[in-house]
A and B are shown apart, each in its own frame.
Chain A
Amino acid sequence: MIDNLSNRLTDLVGAKVSGNSPASVIRLRDVSKVFCGKGLETRALDHVQLTIERGEFLGILGPSGGGKSTLLSIIGLLDSPTNGTYELNGRTTVDLSPKQRARLRNQSIGFVFQNFNLIGDLDLFQNVELPLTYAGVSPSERADRVASALARVGLTDRDRHFPAELSGGQQQRVAIARAVVTEPDILLADEPTGNLDSRHGETIMNLLAELHRDGTTICLVTHDSRYAAFADRRVELVDGRIVNES
Chain B
Amino acid sequence: MDALIQDLRFAVRMLRKSPKFTVIAIVCLSLGVGPNTAIFSVIDTLLLRPVDVARQHELVSIRTTIKGEVGEFSELISLSHPDYVDIRDRTDLFSGLIAYSGSEVAVKLPGGMTTSYGSLVSANFFDVLGRDAVVGDTFHGNPRATPGTMPVVVLGHGFWTKNFGADPDVVGRHLWVNGFEFTVIGVMGPGFTGATIALQPDMWIPLPMCAQAIPNQPQRLNRRDQLWLNVVGRLKKGADLVEVDTRLGTLGETLAAENPDEIMERGFTSAPFSQLGELSLVPVGGLIAMVMGLVGLVLLVACFNVAALLLARTTERRREISVRVAMGATRGRLIRQLLVESALLSFVATLFGLILSLWTLDLVRSLLANMPIHIVVDTGLDWRMLLFSLFVTIVSTLVFGLAPALHHTKLDIVSHLKSQGADAGSNRATSRLRAVFVVMQVATSVFMLIVATLLWRGLQRAGNIDPGFDIDHTAVFHLDPELYGFDIDEVGELGTDLTLRLANHPDVEGAAHGHMAPFDMNYSVTSVQAIDENLGTGEPIRTLKNSIAPGFLETLEIPLLEGRYFLASDRLDRPRSCIVNRELADRLWPGESAVGRQIMPAGGEESIEVVGVVPTGKYQTLGERDQPYLYYPLQPRFEHGLSFILRTTRRTASDEVTAGMRAFLEKEHPEMVFSSLVSMRDHISTILWPNKIGAALFAGLGLLALVLATAGVFGMVSHEIRQRRGEIGIRLALGGSPETIMALLLWHGFRLVGIGIAVGIAAAWGTTHFLTMILNGVSPTDPLSFVAPTLLLVGAAGLAVFQPARKAANRDPMEALRYE
One of A15-23, A128-136, A229-237 contacting the partner = A128-136
Docked Cα-Cα span, A73 to B325, in Å, equals 12
Please tell me if A78 contacts chain B, counting CB pairs below 8 Å. yes
* A137-180 Cβ-contact flags toward B at 8 Å (1 or 0): 00100000000000000000000000000000000000000100
Contacts of B418 in A (CB 8 A): 69, 113-115, 190
Docked Cα-Cα span, A119 to B419, in Å, equals 14
Partner of A107, one of B325, B328, B414, B419: B328
Docked Cα-Cα span, A69 to B326, in Å, equals 14
Interface centre among B10, B326, B329 (most CB of A within 10 A): B326
Contacts A105-B326, A134-B329 given; 10 further ones with Cβ under 8 A? A69-B414, A99-B330, A103-B330, A114-B418, A119-B323, A121-B320, A131-B327, A133-B6, A134-B333, A139-B2
Do most interface residues of chain B lie in helix, strand or loop, or is the interface mixed?
Answer: helix
CB-based contact A102/B10 at 8 Å? no
How many A-B pairs fall under 8 Å by CB?
71
Please tell me if A86 contacts chain B, counting CB pairs below 8 Å. no
Contacts of A121 in B (CB 8 A): 10, 13-14, 17, 320
Docked Cα-Cα span, A134 to B419, in Å, equals 24
Contacts of B326 in A (CB 8 A): 76, 78, 105, 111, 117
CB-CB nearest in chain B for A119: B320
Please tell me if B670 contacts chain A, counting CB pairs below 8 Å. no
Size category of the A interface is 20 to 34
| Residues 320-346 of B contacting A (Cβ, < 8 Å) | 320, 322-333
Please tell me if B544 contacts chain A, counting CB pairs below 8 Å. no
Docked Cα-Cα span, A190 to B328, in Å, equals 17
CB-based contact A117/B323 at 8 Å? yes
Docked Cα-Cα span, A102 to B331, in Å, equals 8
Docked Cα-Cα span, A53 to B329, in Å, equals 27
Contacts of A196 in B (CB 8 A): none
Interface residues of A (CB under 8 A from B): 69, 73, 76, 78-79, 98-99, 102-103, 105-107, 111, 113-115, 117-122, 130-131, 133-136, 139, 178, 190
| Residues 1-22 of B contacting A (Cβ, < 8 Å) | 2-3, 6, 10, 13-14, 17
Contacts of B327 in A (CB 8 A): 105-106, 111, 130-131, 134, 178
Q: What's the least CB distance linking A161 to chain B, in Å? A: 15
Top 10 nearest A-B pairs (CB, nearest first) are: A106-B328, A102-B330, A131-B327, A134-B328, A117-B323, A73-B414, A105-B328, A111-B326, A134-B329, A119-B320
Could you list some 27 contacts between A and B, CB below 8 A?
A79-B414, A98-B330, A98-B331, A102-B325, A102-B329, A102-B331, A103-B328, A105-B326, A106-B328, A107-B328, A111-B326, A113-B418, A115-B418, A115-B420, A117-B322, A117-B326, A117-B417, A118-B323, A120-B320, A121-B13, A130-B327, A131-B327, A131-B328, A133-B6, A134-B327, A134-B329, A136-B3
Docked Cα-Cα span, A121 to B10, in Å, equals 8
Docked Cα-Cα span, A118 to B320, in Å, equals 8
Q: What's the least CB distance linking B14 to chain A, in Å? A: 6
Docked Cα-Cα span, A135 to B328, in Å, equals 8
Docked Cα-Cα span, A103 to B331, in Å, equals 11
CB-based contact B10/A122 at 8 Å? yes
Interface centre among B3, B14, B322, B329 (most CB of A within 10 A): B329
Docked Cα-Cα span, A100 to B557, in Å, equals 87
Docked Cα-Cα span, A139 to B6, in Å, equals 11
Docked Cα-Cα span, A106 to B330, in Å, equals 9
Contacts of A76 in B (CB 8 A): 326
Docked Cα-Cα span, A73 to B415, in Å, equals 10
Contacts of A135 in B (CB 8 A): 328
CB-based contact B320/A99 at 8 Å? no
CB-CB nearest in chain B for A72: B414
Please tell me if B413 contacts chain A, counting CB pairs below 8 Å. yes
* B412-441 Cβ-contact flags toward A at 8 Å (1 or 0): 011001111000000000000000000000
